[in-house]
Amino acid sequence: MTASPVLDRTNCALLDLLQENARLTVAELGGRVSLTSSPCWRRVKRLEELGLIRAYRAILSSEQLGYGVTAFVNVMMGDHAQHVLRQFEQRLSEIVSCHHVSGRYDFLLEVVAVDLKSFGEFARNVLQALPGAKELYSSFSLKAVKDDRILPVPNAGAR
């Protein structure tokens, strides 16, 4: 993949810094990339407009919120009609992440639950009732080894 011309060293540094801590002020960001506030603000605004920065979010602690189980659920669809897939995708509000994948299964879901009992109830009452779902295969996370969702920024090493 070729990096976009907008991804110069300064913009790469801004993206890295914002991924690490999106609460940095424009003045703090500017200080770290050797820019004053106005040009730094313009660069960040441009990165937002171009869609390189999609959103600013807080990363919550699943443990502190009482979720003791993280499951990865592979879903095989029995019906691949577009209206069935759209119906399936619209029913995923309680699921942390969902990927349409290649291979034997059609979707990979990440689900959090308070405990195994509540996951079992969720699997029976929600997952097995998803439109078009033919087969489910669940794996449970024993430990999150890396869970920061930080993307590698192209050219970031050239700083």
For all residues of the chain together, what is the average pLDDT? Answer: 89
Residues 91 and 51 in one domain: no
**For residue 79, is pLDDT > 80?**
no
In a domain, 52, yes or no: yes
Residues 29 and 51 in one domain: yes
Q: Phi/psi class of residue 37: alpha, beta or left (left: φ > 0; alpha: ψ in -120 to 50)?
A: alpha
Q: Which of 134, 107, 132, 110 is nearest to 122 (CA)?
A: 110
The arrangement of strands across the sheet holding 97-100 comes to: 97-100, 107-113, 69-77, 133-140
pTM: 0.81
Express each pLDDT in 132-159 by its tens digit: 889 999 999 999 999 888 899 987 545 4
In a domain, 148, yes or no: no
Residues 85 and 36 in one domain: no
Residues 125 and 89 in one domain: yes
Judge contact between 53 and 15, C-beta under 8 A. yes
Task: Write the CATH number for 126.
Answer: 3.30.70.920
Q: Which of 144, 153, 123, 148 is nearest to 63 (CA)?
A: 144
Q: Which of 20, 36, 58 is the last residue of a domain?
A: 58
Q: Could you list the residue range(s) of the whole structural domain that residue 30 is in? A: 9-58
Residues 25 and 87 in one domain: no
Q: How confident is the model at residue 88 (pLDDT cuts 50, 70, 90)?
A: confident
Q: How many domains does the chain have?
A: 2
Q: How confident is the model at residue 8 (pLDDT cuts 50, 70, 90)?
A: very high
Alpha helices in 21-76 (DSSP H): 26-33, 37-49
Tell me what the mean pLDDT of segment 89-95 comes to. 75
Residues 73 and 136 in one domain: yes
Residues 22 and 82 in one domain: no
Residues 6+ apart with CB under 8 A from 122: 94, 111, 113
Task: Write the CATH number for 34.
Answer: 1.10.10.10
pLDDT higher at 41 or 149:
41
Q: What is the pLDDT of residue 4?
A: 63
Q: What is the pLDDT of residue 78?
A: 87
Q: What is the pLDDT of residue 159?
A: 43
Distances, alpha carbon 140 to alpha carbons 22, 30, 74, 113, 125, in Å: 30, 42, 11, 11, 19
CA distance linking residue 110 with residue 141, whole number of Å: 10
CA distance linking residue 48 with residue 50, whole number of Å: 5
Residues 18 and 76 in one domain: no
Express each pLDDT in 94-115 by its tens digit: 788 889 999 999 999 999 999 9
Q: How confident is the model at residue 3 (pLDDT cuts 50, 70, 90)?
A: low
Please tell me the least confidently modeled range out of 50-54, 58-62, 137-141, 152-156: 152-156
Q: What is the pLDDT of residue 16?
A: 96
- Three-state SS at 119: helix
In a domain, 153, yes or no: no
Residues 83 and 115 in one domain: yes
In a domain, 152, yes or no: no
In a domain, 98, yes or no: yes
